[in-house]
C-alpha cells in the first residue's frame, strides 16, 4: 500500500521508501541482537554465570577452554568468544566493565585456560 501511494504521488518517493524500509529492518535487527546479547558475566565459586536479558547460563569454570577475539579483528571490535566444552561458543560484547578482574579470577579457578594478550 505504501509503495502504491509513493508511485501515485511521485516516483521520487520510491527510493526514500526503500531506504526508510531498509533502516527500519536494520533497527529491528539491532533490537533483536541487543536482547540476545550477554549483559553481565560473574564468577560464582567454581561456576561462571552469563546473564542475558531473559535468562542466565551457568557453566563450570573448568568447561571454558579458550577466551579470545577472532583473528580477523586486530582492533578488538567484534564479540569476545568464550569456547566451552558444554555450550559451544558464547559471544559477549568486546568491552565489558570489570573484565580484567573477571579474567584474573577465571585464571585462578582454571589455570589451563587460554586468555587474550
Q: Please give the full DSSP string across 21-84, using - where no structure is assigned.
A: HHHHHHHHHHHHHHHTS--EEEEETTEEEEE-SS-EEEEEGGGEEEEE--TT-TT--S-EEEEE
Q: Of 1-10, 23-32, 41-50, 57-66, which range is least confident?
A: 1-10
Mean pLDDT of the chain: 83
Domain 40-109: CATH architecture, name and number where available: Roll (2.30)
Q: What is the rounded distance in angstroms from the CA atom of residue 35 to the CA atom of residue 95?
A: 17
Domain ranges within the chain, ordered by starting residue? 2-34, 40-109
- Cα–Cα nearest to 97, from 41, 36, 44, 52: 41
Question: Does residue 44 carry a pLDDT above 80?
Answer: yes
Q: What is the rounded distance in angstroms from the CA atom of residue 102 to the CA atom of residue 100?
A: 5
- Provide the pLDDT confidence category of residue 6 given band limits of 50, 70 and 90: low
How do residues 9-38 score in pLDDT, each as one tens digit? 666 677 777 888 888 899 999 888 877 888
- Cα–Cα nearest to 78, from 92, 88, 99, 65: 92
Other C-beta atoms closer than 10 Å to the C-beta of 29 total 10
How do residues 71-95 score in pLDDT, each as one tens digit? 887 787 888 889 999 888 888 888 8
When pLDDT is averaged across residues 48-57 and rounded to a whole number, the result is 88
Cβ atoms of residues 57 and 44 within 8 Å? no
Amino acid at each position: 500500500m505504501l509503495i502504491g501511494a509513493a508511485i501515485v504521488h511521485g516516483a521520487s518517493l520510491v527510493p526514500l521508501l526503500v531506504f526508510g524500509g531498509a533502516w527500519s529492518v536494520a533497527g529491528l535487527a539491532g533490537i533483536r541482537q541487543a536482547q540476545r546479547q550477554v549483559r553481565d558475566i560473574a564468577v560464582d565459586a567454581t561456576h561462571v554465570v552469563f546473564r542475558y536479558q531473559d535468562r542466565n547460563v551457568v557453566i563450570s569454570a573448568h568447561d571454558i577452554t579458550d577466551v579470545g577475539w577472532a583473528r580477523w579483528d586486530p582492533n578488538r571490535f567484534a564479540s569476545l568468544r568464550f569456547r566451552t566444552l558444554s555450550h559451544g561458543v558464547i559471544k559477549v560484547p568486546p568491552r565489558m566493565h570489570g573484565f580484567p578482574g573477571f579474567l584474573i579470577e577465571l585464571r585462578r579457578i582454571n589455570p589451563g585456560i587460554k586468555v587474550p594478550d
